[in-house]
C-alpha cells in the first residue's frame, strides 16, 4: 500500500513541477514579447493616419518599391517633429530624442516566420490591397499594441483563393 502512495506522490509532484515549469516558461515568453514590442515612444497611429490623413507611405516609405515596408527613421520623424506640434508628453519625448540625435529603435508589430516570404510591393502595389487587409485596425490605435492582428496561413490562403492567385507553396515558403 505504501508503494502505491509513494507512486501517487511521485506522480503528483511530477505533475506539479511540470505545470509550474510550463507556467514559468510561458511567463518568460510573454515578458520577452512585451520587451520586444517596447517602442521609443507610444506612437499614435490614429492621430497621424485618421486625423492628419497622412498616407502609410509617409512613415513606411519602402513598401511601394521593396518587399518590406520599413519603419520610420529619425529623419522621417524629424521632418515634422524637431519642434513640438502639440502638447502630448510622448511627442515631447520624441522631440528630445530627435534633438539629441538619437536613433529610433522601432520594433515591428507584425512578423512572419523566417521561412515565409512576403512582399509589401507585390501585395499593396500589384494586388492593390489596402494596408488594413493584413494590418487590421492599426490606423485606429492610439498607442502601439503588442499585436494588432495575428495572421495565419489560412488568412493568406483564403485571400489567394478569393482573388484567384497562386496557391503554389513555393510562392511564399522558402
Residue ranges per structural domain of the chain: 1-36, 45-171
| SS3 category, 18 | helix
Q: Looking at the predicted structure, is the pLDDT value of residue 1 above 70? A: no
Supply the pLDDT for residue 35.
40
Supply the pLDDT for residue 76.
94
CA distance 59 to 80: 11
Q: What are the C-alpha distances in Å from 164 to residues 19, 34, 125, 159, 161?
A: 46, 38, 17, 8, 5
The rounded radius of gyration (Å) of the Cα atoms in the chain is: 23
Q: What share of the chain is helix, strand, coil (3-state, %, to 5)?
A: 55, 0, 45
Supply the pLDDT for residue 95.
96
pLDDT-derived band at 74 (thresholds 50, 70, 90) equals very high
Supply the pLDDT for residue 11.
64
pTM of the model: 0.67
The pLDDT tens digits of the residues spanning 80-128 come to 999 999 999 999 999 999 999 998 988 888 878 888 899 999 999 999 9
CA distance 142 to 67: 27
Q: Looking at the predicted structure, is the pLDDT value of residue 57 above 50? A: yes
CA distance 125 to 121: 5
Q: Looking at the predicted structure, is the pLDDT value of residue 151 above 90? A: no
Q: Looking at the predicted structure, is the pLDDT value of residue 30 above 60? A: no
Average pLDDT, the chain: 83
Q: What is the DSSP letter of 120?
A: H
Number of neighbouring beta carbons within 10 Å of residue 132: 14
CA distance 155 to 158: 5
Which of 4-8, 62-66, 91-95: highest mean pLDDT?
91-95
Q: Looking at the predicted structure, is the pLDDT value of residue 142 above 60? A: yes
- For the record, the C-alpha cell of 100 comes out as 539629441
Residue corresponding to grid cell 517602442: 39
Amino acid at each position: 500500500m505504501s508503494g502505491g502512495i509513494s507512486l501517487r506522490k511521485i506522480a503528483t509532484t511530477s505533475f506539479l513541477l511540470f505545470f509550474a515549469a510550463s507556467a514559468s516558461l510561458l511567463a518568460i515568453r510573454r515578458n520577452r514579447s512585451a520587451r520586444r514590442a517596447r517602442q521609443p515612444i507610444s506612437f499614435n497611429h490614429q492621430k497621424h493616419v485618421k486625423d492628419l490623413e497622412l498616407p502609410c507611405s509617409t512613415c513606411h516609405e519602402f513598401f511601394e518599391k521593396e518587399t518590406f515596408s520599413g519603419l520610420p527613421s529619425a529623419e522621417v520623424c524629424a521632418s515634422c517633429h524637431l519642434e513640438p506640434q502639440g502638447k502630448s508628453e510622448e511627442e515631447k519625448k520624441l522631440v528630445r530624442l530627435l534633438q539629441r540625435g538619437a536613433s529610433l529603435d522601432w520594433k515591428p508589430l507584425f512578423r512572419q516566420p523566417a521561412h515565409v516570404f512576403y512582399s509589401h510591393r507585390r501585395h499593396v502595389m500589384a494586388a492593390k490591397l489596402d494596408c488594413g487587409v493584413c494590418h487590421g485596425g492599426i490606423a485606429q490605435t492610439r498607442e502601439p499594441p503588442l499585436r494588432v492582428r495575428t495572421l495565419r496561413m489560412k488568412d493568406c490562403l483564403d485571400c489567394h483563393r478569393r482573388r484567384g492567385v497562386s496557391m503554389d507553396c513555393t510562392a511564399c515558403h522558402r
